[in-house]
Amino acid sequence: MSKLGNLGARLYRGDVGYDFVGKRKIWYGISILITITAFVAVMVRGLHMGIEFEGGAVFNTPKTSVSAATAEEIAEEASGHQAIAQRLGNDTLRIQISGVDTDKSDHIKSKLAKELDVKADDINADLVGPSWGDQIANKAWQGLAIFMILVVIYLAIAFEWRMAVAALIALIHDITITVGVYALVGFEVTPGTVIGLLTILGYSLYDTVVVFDSLKEQSKDLTKQTRFTYSEVANRSINSTLVRSINTTVVALLPVAGLLFIGGGFLGAGMLNDISLSLFVGLAAGAYSSIFIATPLVADLKETDPQMKALKKRVLAKRRAAAAKGESEEAPARDADATEDGEDGDDTAPAVVGPRSGPRAQPVRNRGRGRPSGKRR
């Protein structure tokens, strides 16, 4: 843990780091490939919507020794539709069938009672109409749209429109990946899934805002110096918050993994799968997008600004001049700043994060210039 804390401190100071922004084309390519795969999965396999969205019936049986797999076969044979059966803690069964109307429900109930050797009156049947399911689906889409609009407005006010656009793209990226995974594994989409999606969007946004806040702080008065470009400062912001992002993501994923793999898989509590899968995939995708997508996108959008373009030209020109003189490109002398474009350099500007060829060059301090040395003769 002390080594991890040490690494975090060194990343924050800029002593070490990885060039996330410089390799952004790789991350964009990976994300595009994953997004295309998710779209294909949804188009080919489709989503297994729950009865809350499609309508159907839920049958709760009394205590029985019949297995859930056998109950599924009986229900599918009686209804002609796919059924999902889950064994509850008191040896009762919950059987869910989509696309079932009232008349067919009575027939299925009688068939289940006969095959499970229980009384028909002891089986509780709840029906959900397709119109009510449509209302639930519409409300879910409305909630998602309102969330996105509020996010864009807040980020545009608190930061700037470029960050709002980048955050919105990252959120859409996270939703697409999560929905694609649902299509691939065939898990049922329920209101719990929608709740999980909104939860992971909030978490992804939190992780992104942490990096944006660091970037906003470190890019103040950036055009008044000629040592660093906006992309380099953006890269430092990612590195300075990297350990924090990793720690919070791992801590959040551990209990969700317990719900998904132990509760839903090992213990067979299938009702946990709908929300735990969306949380697990979404948390991982949100951490990825905040580091590899959102901030590099901000850097790309920001460097289309004329001021940032001019800054980049001055920085690169200064580094070429310093390289020609055999000086350090990373921290050229202050006088060079003053003589170029009539600007004063900013020795307190953040350090460039990326591959290094040697130790950090320190700013030149002219202590004692014009003073006697203080040595006695």
pLDDT tens, residue by residue, 149-183: 888 898 899 888 999 999 999 999 998 999 999 88
Structure tokens at 368: 């004692």
Poorest-pLDDT segment among 114-118, 227-231, 281-285: 114-118
Whole-model pTM? 0.70
| CA distances to 92, 118, 192 from 266, in Å | 19, 29, 20
Question: What's the CATH number for 2-48+132-302?
Answer: 1.20.1640.10
Of the pLDDT bands very low, low, confident and very high (cuts 50, 70, 90), residue 196 is: confident
How far is it, in rounded angstroms, from Cα 375 to Cα 377? 6
Closest C-alpha among 122, 11, 104 to residue 56: 104
Selected residue with higher pLDDT from 339 and 199? 199
For residue 255, which phi and psi values (nearest 5 degrees)? -65, -35
Of the pLDDT bands very low, low, confident and very high (cuts 50, 70, 90), residue 130 is: low
β-pair type (124-128, 56-60): antiparallel
Cβ-contact 279, 273 below 8 angstroms: no
Q: Is the pLDDT of residue 225 over 50?
A: yes
Mean pLDDT of the chain: 77
What value, to the nearest 5°, has the Cα angle with vertex 303 and ends 327 and 32? 115
DSSP single-letter state for residue 220: T
Q: Is the pLDDT of residue 81 over 50?
A: yes
- Strand residues in 75-207 grouped as ranges (E): 83-87, 93-98, 124-128, 188-189
Q: Where are the domains of the chain?
A: 2-48+132-302, 56-128
Task: Give the pLDDT of residue 197.
Answer: 83
Task: Give the pLDDT of residue 332.
Answer: 39
Cβ-contact 282, 203 below 8 angstroms: yes
Q: Is the pLDDT of residue 26 over 80?
A: yes
Cβ-contact 253, 229 below 8 angstroms: no
| Side-chain half-sphere CA neighbours of 132 within 13 A | 11
Of the pLDDT bands very low, low, confident and very high (cuts 50, 70, 90), residue 40 is: very high
Of the pLDDT bands very low, low, confident and very high (cuts 50, 70, 90), residue 5 is: low
DSSP single-letter state for residue 259: I
Q: Give per-residue pLDDT as tens, 316-367.
A: 888 888 888 876 555 433 333 333 343 444 433 444 444 443 344 444 444 4
Cβ-contact 351, 239 below 8 angstroms: no
- In the chain, % of residues over pLDDT 70: 77
Q: What is the CA radius of gyration of the chain?
A: 29
Closest C-alpha among 348, 290, 251, 231 to residue 31: 290
Residues linked to residue 124 through DSSP beta bridges, in sequence order:
60
| Side-chain half-sphere CA neighbours of 295 within 13 A | 35
How far is it, in rounded angstroms, from Cα 252 to Cα 190? 22
Selected residue with higher pLDDT from 75 and 6? 75
Cβ-contact 163, 175 below 8 angstroms: no
Q: Is the pLDDT of residue 11 over 70?
A: no
Closest C-alpha among 100, 64, 68, 67 to residue 82: 100
Cβ-contact 293, 300 below 8 angstroms: no
Selected residue with higher pLDDT from 190 and 43? 43
Q: Specify the 3-state DSSP secondary structure of 187.
A: coil
- For the segment(s) 56-128, the CATH number from 3.40.605.10, 3.50.50.60, 3.30.70.3400, 3.30.70.100 is 3.30.70.3400
Using the structure block, give the residue that is written with the tokens 């020109």.
317
Poorest-pLDDT segment among 198-202, 267-271, 305-309: 267-271
Cβ-contact 292, 208 below 8 angstroms: no
Q: Is the pLDDT of residue 50 over 80?
A: no
Q: Which residues of 350-371 are buried (b: 16+ CB within 10 A; e: fewer)?
A: bbbbbeeeeeeeeeeeeeeeee
For residue 353, which phi and psi values (nearest 5 degrees)? -105, 130
Task: Give the pLDDT of residue 357.
Answer: 37
Give the mean model confidence (pLDDT) for residues 116-128: 81
Of the pLDDT bands very low, low, confident and very high (cuts 50, 70, 90), residue 31 is: very high
DSSP single-letter state for residue 120: G
